[in-house]
Amino acid sequence: MKKVTVSVPGKIHLMGEHAVVYGKPALLSAIDLRLSVSIEPSETFEIISSEPTDHAKYAVDFLLDHMKVKKDPLVKITIESEIPAGFHLGSSAAVAVGLSGAMTYFFKNLWNPIRINELAYQIEKKQHGNPSGGDNTTITMGGFIWFRKELEFLKSIWQLPFKPHPSLNHFFLIKTKRPSETTGEMVALVRARYTKEQKKMEALFNRNETQVKRVAVALKEGNEKELLDAIQVGESTLEGMGVVSQIVQSLIREIEKSGGAAKILGGGGVKDGVGFLLCYHHEPKRIAALCKAHEYTTQSIILGEEGIRLEQR
């Protein structure tokens, strides 16, 4: 077979971080930052990656074993990514999905997104222990994904049947500093607070769930006022859980005063940065100026993007 190239999107949590651990829903979206995987015949076996290669090498070995292809075949695998690692944009799951798609097509001439997603989830489980499955599903299927873990053995994952309303195209990522804490440490922090203040935390989780639903409806109907308010209220619940640093909270208040809304993505952080913020605002230059004062950078993104795509065959 000649060269095969597959691309996949990154993903964000629009709303539902942390509360999703306690049975509440989360709303995820594919975004227009993409990762590509190319496979072509070669005289040697090599993996060339803009991402850390340990995860890619594990995924490749897993897939070769699954497909019963001999180890280290004579191919060159090239991974190029616009999705920064370690910032809760799904870089790890993107590698797993991209490799699953490219390798099953290259070696077996099969293209089945459902099966690709299953393989990527197996890779993520081996690599990360107990992932939800939400990230790889969003990256494979694209669009908006509704995720809820009802029980350990019961998870609901649905692709929502709509595209983002064309009027709601003012989303940005704001790159704050990388969190000092890991996602696991932030989950443990929320767990400790839940143990001490169960009623208070459950009230925050319930309020967060309401905002997840409001965001979904606002995106479908193009209701900007509702969207802004839901993001602001949802962020306040995350601050109540104790996962947003004071430094970042001050920037979020400035954004809200200027007519926008912003929230953390992923686990958050306490000491300093929180990784990326998701921001909605009509005036990019105004947001850029606000962020420059904090020495942060901004980047526009598009939500509800296409999932895995066969680019070259």
Instruction: For residue 246, give the CATH number of its domain.
Output: 3.30.70.890
- 230 and 120 co-located in one domain: no
Pairing of strands 26-41, 75-81: antiparallel
pLDDT range class, residue 153, cuts 50, 70, 90: confident
| Span 41-71, pLDDT tens digits | 999 999 999 877 788 999 999 999 999 999 8
Residue 265, CA distances (Å) to 16, 58, 260, 298 in order: 10, 27, 16, 14
State how far the Cα of 288 lies from the Cα of 103, in Å rounded to an integer: 40
- 100 and 185 co-located in one domain: no
State how far the Cα of 151 lies from the Cα of 205, in Å rounded to an integer: 16
Q: Could you tell me which residue, 57 or 87, shows the higher pLDDT?
A: 57
- 126 and 178 co-located in one domain: no
- 123 and 180 co-located in one domain: no
- 110 and 19 co-located in one domain: yes
pLDDT range class, residue 149, cuts 50, 70, 90: confident
- 50 and 121 co-located in one domain: yes
- 157 and 247 co-located in one domain: no
Which candidate, 218, 244, 243, places its Cα nearest to that of 230? 218
Q: Which residues are catalytic?
A: 135
- 155 and 204 co-located in one domain: no
Q: Could you tell me which residue, 71 or 34, shows the higher pLDDT?
A: 34
- 150 and 183 co-located in one domain: no
Residue 30, CA distances (Å) to 63, 133, 250, 277 in order: 24, 14, 28, 16
- Domains held by the chain: number: 2
Instruction: For residue 154, give the CATH number of its domain.
Output: 3.30.230.10
Minimum mean pLDDT range among 20-34, 280-294, 298-312: 280-294
Residue found under tokens 């109540």: 240
State how far the Cα of 25 lies from the Cα of 210, in Å rounded to an integer: 9
Q: How many CB atoms lie within 10 A of CB 152?
A: 7
Backbone torsions φ then ψ of 163, nearest 5 degrees: -95, 160
State the pLDDT at residue 279: 97
- 156 and 177 co-located in one domain: no
Q: Tokens standing for 141?
A: 């299927």
State the pLDDT at residue 130: 67
- 132 and 40 co-located in one domain: yes
Of the chain, the percentage scoring pLDDT greater than 90 comes to: 73
| Span 251-303, pLDDT tens digits | 999 999 999 999 999 889 999 889 899 999 988 889 999 988 888 999 999 99
State the pLDDT at residue 1: 67
- 187 and 108 co-located in one domain: no
Q: Is the pLDDT of residue 146 over 80?
A: yes
| Span 211-235, pLDDT tens digits | 999 999 999 999 999 999 999 999 9
| Span 111-135, pLDDT tens digits | 999 999 999 999 988 776 667 788 9
User: The domain containing residue 100 runs over which residues?
Assistant: 4-163+304-312
Q: What does pLDDT average to over the chain?
A: 92
